[in-house]
Amino acid sequence: MASSIFNAPCTVPAVNGKNYFGLKPAVNNDLRFDVGKTTSIIGCPKRVFTVRASEKKDGPLKKLGLNDAECEAAVVAGNVPEAPPVPPRPAAPAGTPAVPSLPLSRRPRRNRKSPAMRASFQETSIAPANFVYPLFIHEGEEDTPIGAMPGCYRLGWRHGLVEEVAKARDVGVNSIVLFPKVPDGLKSPTGDEAYNDNGLVPRAIRLLKDKYPDLVIYTDVALDPYSSDGHDGIVREDGVIMNDETVYQLCKQAVSQARAGADVVSPSDMMDGRIGAIRKALDAEGFQHVSIMSYTAKYASSFYGPFREALESNPRFGDKKTYQMNPANYREALVEAHEDESEGADILLVKPGLPYLDIIRLLRDKSPLPIAAYQVSGEYSMIKAGGVLKMIDEERVMMESLTCLRRAGADIILTYFALQAARCLCGEKR
């Protein structure tokens, strides 16, 4: 039942389990209930909404045919109509110590005492419209399961991808981000396949836009899936990741994605100055309307392990610590945020998500721009693994973690749980 969702705002709880019945919540505030209709536009399937205010036990009370004045006169005359008695005080179990009540002027538990009150005072909401669904694609025709990410697949771009997008849209998730698994034969030290207009990503974008013109498509801008070195930039002989030369390639990649129809390009590479350069390149080609979501505070995290397995994009040597941020750093996120803001980023992203809630809150408080959080592969896989082993309740932990990312200040969340969580919010089970 819907009220099992972690304090979700869509949950109108059953009071006493009696007063409200037949409720099927919709979570997207933009959606209106159309009684009797089951079609969906770009939200949850519409549901019939039935609220019964009271149960008929002994039938309705008989009216005596008195007017207001007669009713008042009866009460003044001491003829007070009967109402249910004052309820008895519930008994405590035998052995409960008898203590004087604490002299508290504030008892915060008062506002939590019933599901209806908790729903009234919930500060954070979460809806399918807040999710961006990351999807792995490949050239194959079949969908290949990703071992380290139960429930995730490398989707065939012509079939599985289109079907997965349709499922997501059915429950109100209308934003996706694409990650390609590129054949080894197309990888090179300079990652030139990244800006092939007929490459996997541009082809997939064109196909999706043809089928779903209103789908919001985010793309990843970085060389790692295309680099024979598995790094986000061009690697010099001595192992140094070359900054400005990489930015040159990224500009071409972003323009190629925009040309195919991408709505938001998302540089995840962490090179310096790439936001300004990409903005300039997009504008020069007539793509003023294409947004940039910058991976502003992207940390050199071990939580990306399963993702790299998914794309077979592990760095061939070394690590990404000369461009991704040190997980021990907080203030440095502000340096990146100031740069990205002044270079024209439209959205600032923090990655990973849950272990970096303080950074999300920092950017939320310091920047007027929308904030995105990326609940990365390792976070997803840990919750899945805990669920499979029956160590935690997967669905509740999933909803709680997503709600916490919103509470910390994320407007949107990139999450592999997007479909599963949206189904939950729409009151559907898999």
Number of Cβ within 10 Å of residue 354's Cβ equals 20
CA distances, 233 to each of 141, 143, 349 (Å): 30, 29, 19
Q: Report in angstroms how near the CB of residue 115 gets to ligand PBG at its nearest.
A: 34
Nearer of residues 115 and 233 to ligand PBG, judged by Cβ: 233
CA dihedral sign of residues 388, 390, 396, 402: negative
Ramachandran class of 68: left when φ > 0, alpha when ψ lies in -120 to 50, beta otherwise: alpha
Amino acid residing at 364:
R
**In angstroms, what is the minimal distance from the CB of 314 to ligand PBG?**
8
Helix (H, G, I), strand (E, B) or coil at 384: helix
- Percent of the chain as helix, strand, coil, to the nearest 5: 35, 15, 50
The contacts of residue 396 (CB under 8 Å, 6+ apart) are 4, 6
Handedness of CA 352, 354, 359, 365 (dihedral sign): positive
State yes or no: is 56 an active-site residue: no
Catalytic residue among 298, 320, 384, 390: 298
From the centroid of its chain, how far is CA 314? Answer: 26
When the beta carbons of 7 and 253 are compared against ligand PBG, the nearer one is 253
Closest contact distance (angstroms) between CB of 291 and ligand PBG is 18
CA quadruple 263, 269, 275, 276: dihedral, nearest 10: -130
Residues contacting 287, CB < 8 A, separation 6+: 255, 258, 259
Question: Residue written as tokens 């990146």?
Answer: 336
Using the minimum distance from each CB to ligand PBG, give the nearer residue, 266 or 403. Answer: 266
**Collapsing DSSP states into helix, strand and coil, what is residue 24?**
coil
Contact residues for 207 (Cβ-Cβ < 8 A; gap 6+)? 157, 158, 161, 162
Q: Are 7 and 112 in contact (CB under 8 A)?
A: no
Q: How many residues does the chain have?
A: 430
Tell me whether residue 25 or residue 267 sits nearer to ligand PBG (CB atom).
Answer: 267
Shortest reach from residue 40's CB to ligand PBG, in Å = 28
Angle, CA 125 vertex, CA 429 and CA 48 arms, to 5°: 50
Q: What's the min distance (Å) between Cβ of 307 and ligand PBG?
A: 3
Closer to ligand PBG at the Cβ: 20 or 417?
417
Tokens 């089951």 — which residue?
A: 38
Smallest separation (angstroms) from ligand PBG to the CB of 306: 7
Nearer to ligand PBG, 287 or 307 (CB): 307
> Taking the complex as a whole, how short is the minimal distance between the CB of residue 310 and ligand PBG, in angstroms?
8
Q: Which residue is nearest to ligand PBG (CB)?
A: 307
Beta carbon of residue 303, minimum distance to ligand PBG (angstroms, whole number)? 6
Give whichever of 20 and 374 is closer to ligand PBG, judged by the CB atom: 374
Q: Which position among 351, 366, 384, 429 bears the catalytic label? A: 351
Is 181 annotated in the active site? no
Residues 260/197, Cβ–Cβ less than 8 Å: yes
From the CB of residue 120, how many other CB atoms can be counted at a distance below 10 Å?
10
Which residues here bind ligand PBG, judged by CB under 6 A? 220, 222, 224, 232, 268, 304, 307-308, 320, 376-377
Complex with ligand PBG: residue 253 or 268, whichever CB lies closer? 268
CA distance 380 to 111: 33
The identity of residue 63, as a single letter, is K
Which residues are marked as active site?
298, 351
